[in-house]
Amino acid sequence: MEPIDAFIDRLPKAELHLHLVGSASVPTVLELARRHPDGMVPLSPAELAAFYEFRDFPHFSQVYGAVSSLVREPDDVAALVLGAARDLAGQNVRYVELTVTPYTFTSAGMPAAGLTEALDIAARSAVRDHGVRMAYIFDIAGEYGAPAAFGTLEHALTCPPEALTGFGLAGIEQARPRFAEEFRSVFAAAIAAGLHSVPHAGEMSGPATIWEALDGLHAERIGHGISCLDDPALVARLRESQVPLEVCPTSNACTKQVPSLDAHPLPRLLAEGLFVTLNSDDPPMFGTTLTEEYRRAASVLGLGRSQLADLAANGVRASFMNAGAKQALLAEIDAVAASAGSPAGAGSPAGAGSPAGAGSPAGAGSPAGSVSATTPA
């Protein structure tokens, strides 16, 4: 039988939970740090590796902010996007929804129009040069509250990149309750404009954050969502609705949201019949890649070929790419799985049907346009 690593390499993949700054390779971060030595980011590989050893999520957030502060010009943004596309292409990733936090750049002086132009140019180059279809999610760093929320919404509605498809919320989840009304307001406006709601929730906080994402922010997908297992009623809601969870095992272990990788609840989420996708989050910071997440799901968490193929298919089904591109990519995954004797969808609790909202073309009716405008099927 084909080695599991070779099978994983052959699987076409979609990446739905990847942050722009968190995608920056170690050489790229070191180059930015040398260019901007006032940024408090180490200048050597060994020191940067130590810098990336996180005590907890707040510490991770501080480190992420330090790296983000090195991205100061639109050309830096374009370079990060193309670096991500190059890295993903080497992993047989065909489509990515890349999360950008524009307020962190524009509030530091980067012109919104320049940022948007850089994202547009990079998306076109990604598909032309690397064969990776690129969509964008604009997200809010929740701890920055109302200014970040309304600033991000204004950018999304007045000066969006062509491939903008989603609107998200990340950062410190415990900071959200005091800004709940503001977040509900901007999400309602983004949804009315045709963007998809994809907030993080249940990563570092309990089930209440997920309930709010579903009922207050009308989430079509949930970033992380692992604390849902603490609430049987929420598990039942997610099982019935099949709202996808963007699960990132190594990220959760590195930020100490789970005790260790082998204690990650991914297998239980699957056993509960939830719709799960597998993602890498901030891979160089966590010493991983999307391919490595699949390998660890097999070697550490015990998933077999059929389950891995199901996860790859789920990433496509849960995406906001257009229907034709989905069908083509699912057919490729089915062909790889069948050649290994592990047809995708066989026995998968998440394989039946499509998640709510995922069947519509990305950005349909949105002033931001559609993914297919930049990334043809």
- Domains of the chain: which residue ranges? 4-369
Check residue 355 and give its pLDDT: 53
Cα–Cα distance measured from residue 29 to residue 171, given in angstroms and rounded to the nearest whole number: 21
Task: Encode burial over 52-65: b for 16+ CB neighbours within 10 A, e otherwise.
Answer: bebeebeebbebbe
Check residue 351 and give its pLDDT: 39
For the chain, what is the largest distance between any 2 Cα atoms, rounded to a whole number of angstroms?
55
Residues 165, 375 contacting (CB under 8 angstroms): no
Cα–Cα distance measured from residue 120 to residue 162, given in angstroms and rounded to the nearest whole number: 6
Cα–Cα distance measured from residue 352 to residue 337, given in angstroms and rounded to the nearest whole number: 17
Check residue 298 and give its pLDDT: 98
Could you say which of 203, 212, 272, 293 is catalytic? 203
| Among the listed residues 148, 190, 189, the one whose alpha carbon sits nearest the alpha carbon of residue 172 | 148
Decide: pTM greater than 0.95. Answer: no
For the chain, the straight-line distance linking the first and the last C-alpha, in angstroms and rounded, comes to: 33
Check residue 353 and give its pLDDT: 40
Check residue 2 and give its pLDDT: 87
Check residue 14 and give its pLDDT: 98
Check residue 340 and give its pLDDT: 84
Check residue 341 and give its pLDDT: 81
| Among the listed residues 33, 49, 130, the one whose alpha carbon sits nearest the alpha carbon of residue 83 | 130
**Catalytic: 203?**
yes
Cα–Cα distance measured from residue 303 to residue 93, given in angstroms and rounded to the nearest whole number: 20
pLDDT block averages, 10 residues each, the chain of length 377: 94 98 92 88 93 91 91 94 95 98 96 98 97 97 96 98 98 95 98 98 97 98 98 98 98 96 98 98 96 98 97 98 96 94 55 43 33 29
Check residue 40 and give its pLDDT: 87
The domain defined by 4-369 folds into TIM Barrel (3.20.20)
Name the packing angle between helices 207-215 and 232-241 (round to 10°). Answer: 40
Residues 152, 102 contacting (CB under 8 angstroms): yes
Token code pair at residue 55 = 């005590």
Check residue 345 and give its pLDDT: 61
Burial class of residue 131 (count of CB atoms within 10 Å of its CB; 0-12, 13-18, 19+): middle
